[in-house]
Amino acid sequence: MQINLSNLGKRYNYEWIFRNLTYTLESGTSYAILGHNGSGKSTLLTVIAGHNLHSEGEITYLLDGKAVAPDKAYRELSLTAPYLELVEELTLLEMIAFHTRFKPLRNNLSHEELVERMGLQKSRNKYVKDFSSGMKQRLKLGLAIYSDTKLLVLDEPTTNLDQEGVSWYQEHVAANKEGRLIIVGSNIVHEYSFCDQHLYITDYHAPARQPKPARQ
């Protein structure tokens, strides 16, 4: 998959979050969207993922050289972020079954095999609402990383993970990079250390809006 951003901009009311962003993202490459908290990393990721509309400019999606309509691009996308919720009334196996109705797993992985790769074997029949925050994050990551999609978007991927969980994340992302376009939004090195390219969102901040001069 290839994504072309052309003079992209996003604003809320009169405040521009980013502007004049022109960039090409290509399969087989991992990109880190970097910047301090509140700089607009998550906003850019939601715009790329189609969860948020841009205010100006254009996004085009290509798959095998053919244009993909923006409202169809979600079929090739898997996304995890702190603001996305799981269906907590389901058990782990029910959650996987629900998810795979929309996004099948890579390499014909079975539901049980995914449970094992996430290290959640003892919780296969446990309700998601009873998971710890770290277990929920591992489940979110497992569903995203192992979905059979060309585009993987990871926003603050190690939120709520301990050091063991961080190591798990690094191992499984590395094992599922080939042939994919991966975009990571982060300001923590261990989340994006595998990325080939770095895009600093602050390079696309618009100048602060100047107040109107007072009338004489």
- Provide the pLDDT for residue 208: 52
Q: Which fold has domain 2-204?
A: Rossmann fold (3.40.50)
d(C-alpha 105, C-alpha 48), whole Å: 22
At residue 209, does pLDDT exceed 80? no
CA 101-51-27 angle, to 5 degrees, is: 75
Question: Residues 47-72: what's their mean pLDDT?
Answer: 93
At residue 36, does pLDDT exceed 50? yes
**Residue 100 falls in which region: left (phi positive, over 0), alpha (psi -120 to 50) or beta:** alpha
- Which residues are within 8 A (CB) of 96 and not within 5 positions of it... i.e. 6 or more apart? 111, 114, 115, 143
Percent pLDDT > 90 in the chain is 91
At residue 180, does pLDDT exceed 50? yes
Question: Residues 45-56: what's their mean pLDDT?
Answer: 95
Question: Residues 33-46: what's their mean pLDDT?
Answer: 95
At residue 67, does pLDDT exceed 80? yes
Q: What are the pLDDT digits (tens) for 142-171?
A: 999 999 999 999 999 999 999 999 999 999
d(C-alpha 151, C-alpha 143), whole Å: 13
Q: For the chain, what are the domain ranges?
A: 2-204
Q: What are the pLDDT digits (tens) for 68-117?
A: 998 899 899 999 999 899 999 999 999 999 999 999 999 999 999 999 99
At residue 207, does pLDDT exceed 90? no
